[in-house]
Structure 1
């Protein structure tokens, strides 16, 4: 475990309160921000960079939702670092999966001119120590942010994957939409398809990423309450979500999936999430053509898509059609199993002699039938309390005579 950075004793880290919203809004506008990219469209964290007015308006409801278990309990999970009544930094975190075994740092904002290494490190350490549910943590940092990468490596984060953000402009989308996609088994997504989508997600990533993400069937299901709140949020943001998957009838499995977050008024780019089985890479042209045809019904706007370094076929096809790379980020992860004691507990430090005492017999052994027969040959009664075990020579002599345990001796029957 890495040593702690020197901490500021005057720095107080606590959950966000209503009176901190003005200071957080100032930090969002002028602060140094890290981890601002979303890993997927299914994130349940509010974007502080765009929704501070909404947070101020619905702060009471958000706090009420955080008091009891519900799908939006961690919708606004923000901690602020305060020093002498002055807000120096803030960090926003959210659970990455439904079981809350993996958490992510959505964004970390530090006041410009402050000691970024000290404040940011203390905010991270505070989250690592207080969120007891978390077993893994994720953060996404720009690949050119050398100081931030060094800071997070110092705090135990390691490289997991490299993420590339692509942009397909409106002209390129129009060109792709002219092609008729060959997708005979394209079906809409519902909760009944959660098992198929979970299997597809599991097969589309390497084992290490799969272990860190730790997704289950519940991550691909949507509750009634969550659907209602997402519908209200889409109405406020003037967006629409369209999702579908490709079903393979022979294997009874899903081999491709996409989700589009479309902007109705053209104020911001469309966003897409795409998952393709590694054995069906021919689906990339078909699915992208289908998504391009869907965007025709909305205002002309570019489409943003992501790819990881373990998806070489996707990156090769995007380069082939002329998509533009707009950003490179590094996805980093960290395990927090260090919460368990690394040293061996004293209760398990037992001596060998103490362990072997449990294998000692509780009483003397009961004499066997062989001993009784040998005692009968000598005319003596066997003594169960004494040492009645025969010697090796007596056993060998008894076996050579051909006597059986269940047959009386001839001389005894004649008499």
Structure 2
């Protein structure tokens, strides 16, 4: 008999394929999603005591289909819908594949990702729907992760479902042009998990791990796409430092002060292998370059051994591809580490009118401190602390400012 955590993981892995099977057969994304959630709840209640069935996915599809057809039976067009669905459904849709063969609808998870990241949806709705439909998180879990009331998140998800009602299920035409929005959504989910934008916790590791899991799914289904591999590598190399970013009381520990023995060596090895493999294929994309930068940090045995010149060279390429203010802010740090803090501060002056939020002042405080200007550095740290909604970041920035008073 499997443990409850193993069953929960099994259910979460199967949820996208089950939902995809129902949407492909019946349509009605909203009703199908509700039916899948009921099937998952039924499995969570029965399997720990009765045992996991031999074909878990088939069991879930059968139960969810029954719940969905019960819900749809009273509609006037039931007969036409079932006849159309029967004509469209392959004969092997509900049979387990032979050992070693790929399930015929395994790419339903990818189709769901494209559906959840439909261009008509705003970014917050894409994220919420992705976590709900593909990630298998409950509305309450998503609401807690983003620190909003459950009712608010439920409305957001409901509106998103209504927006994609009637959208054809499957990999869209010109899907390659839509893939960047899928990757961006996964990246935003990971970033919120790795560094929470607000609240008492610095990280929401469950959210970061969910983003890694979803990106693994995308990489498995699109193994030849270099940017998908680059994003997975970036997540692995960044999340590998997660355990070392918090002190015993939840305080923020910056990169150059972290205990590198606490970094996840297996994740680093996997991430380095991924990014090394894709960089050899040709012109790298933004996620591959970000992953390469993370790899340079992770492979350095100490802060002093970090190859900042290589990092600066990678940022030079990145900002030509993505000349956004965040990328240029990170490049300014590399400039400071290679050419001195005053050179980095000159780069920040150019960004003053473009970048909003606390990060610009936080970097400015760090560079002013390195430049030997404690009063200006203290003012920058205090300004940054006043702008962030993250309590660990506030405490860290106040501590940096107070340290300059000693």
Asked whether the two chains share a fold, i.e. TM above 0.5, the reply is no
Q: Which has the higher strand share?
A: 1
Indicate the structure whose relative CO is greater, using CA pairs within 8 Å and at least 6 residues apart: 1
Return the index of the structure with the highest Cα Rg: 1
After TM superposition, the score normalised by the length of structure 2 is 0.28
After TM superposition, the score normalised by the length of structure 1 is 0.27
Q: Which has the higher helix share?
A: 2
